[in-house]
Amino acid sequence: MMDICSMSEPTIDGATMFLFVIDESTRYKWTYLLKKKSDAESHVKVLLNRLARQFPGKTVLRLRSDQGGEFSSNALSEFCDTLGIEQKFTNAYSPQENCIVERANGVVLPRLRAMLTATHLPNSLWGEALLHVVATLNRLPTKPLGLVSPHQKLFKTEPALDDLRTWGCIAH
């Protein structure tokens, strides 16, 4: 499942939105900072190739997204066809059809805002805060997975927690 979310302020590097990809089975999340929507296509291709190499014998069955041009391009459609991946598009103005990623946005964005507010860091650091939130959520157990973390469900190993740090701390 994929979605793009726009932010009101650019990051220090100029990103104004992010691509959010979630594995429906494991709830593992990937996020990529984007300067323009068209950048999403290359990130999706890189992710799909990486997953194919990292998990030989396992295949991505389908990509679900809205009907945005960045997801329905001929190049991405052909790429998915060569990998045997079915593309599923939600109906217009129907976010409930992509509910897992929409719900994840509703979890991630308030945490991101809270982290920036609590640390008094500038909003232009939202990209770094986002990456921190997603990395943390991938390591935490969740009810839908039977109190197993998305990391553990995907990689079949306990996630490393020794490198987790409090967001915005001055020193480690």
Pick the CATH number of 2-155 from 3.40.30.10, 3.30.420.10, 1.10.238.10, 2.130.10.30: 3.30.420.10
In 10 A of CB 74, how many CB atoms? 7
Rounded distance between C-alpha atoms, residue 135 and residue 78, angstroms: 31
Check pLDDT > 80 for residue 172.
no
What percentage of residues in the chain have a pLDDT greater than 90?
Answer: 78
Check pLDDT > 80 for residue 170.
no
- The mean pLDDT of the chain is 93
Q: List, for residues 26-85, the tens digit of each pLDDT value.
A: 999 999 999 999 999 999 999 999 999 999 989 999 999 988 888 989 999 999 999 999
| Domains in the chain: boundaries | 2-155
Instruction: Calculate mean pLDDT across residues 16-30.
Output: 96
